[in-house]
Amino acid sequence: MNWITLSTTDQLDTIYANDETVVLFKHSTRCPVSSMAKRSLEFEKELVPAGAKFYYLDLIANRSLSNKIAELWNVQHESPQILVTRGNVCLYHASHQDIEMSELIKFL
């Protein structure tokens, strides 16, 4: 899986403004549950359609971006958390042990 690092407001604004479906994974580098969720996603990477964009946000380093995601897509902040978005619409979101590749790929 090719993670795209999400680290700037400009990136987030571009994602929000475009009509492209993307995945946003908010990961806490200090949380074992978050690490398990990330490993689980990577373990099932063969399910990902070609060309799908997966963004990775280190929310310890970029908490303000995590807050902006919650605000833009009107989804309560959680960690770990995954969102599938298309422009300004959140198609799907899950957190903690509910993060499953088999569920989120239905929206890609």
Q: Write out the chain's pLDDT in tens, 108 residues.
A: 799 999 999 999 999 999 999 999 999 989 999 999 999 999 999 999 999 999 999 999 999 999 999 999 999 999 999 999 999 999 999 999 999 999 999 999
State the pTM of this model.
0.95
Number of domains forming the structure of the chain: 1
Query: Which pLDDT does position 46 carry in this prediction?
Result: 95
Asked whether 107 and 92 are in contact (CB, 8 A), the reply is: yes
Look at the chain and count its residues. Answer: 108
Neighbours of 87 (CB within 10 A): 13
- Domain with 26, as residue range(s), is 3-107
Asked whether 5 and 69 are in contact (CB, 8 A), the reply is: no
> Domain containing 39 — which CATH number?
3.40.30.10
Token duo for residue 35: 């690490």
What is the distance between the alpha carbons of residues 15 and 9, in angstroms, rounded to a whole number? 10
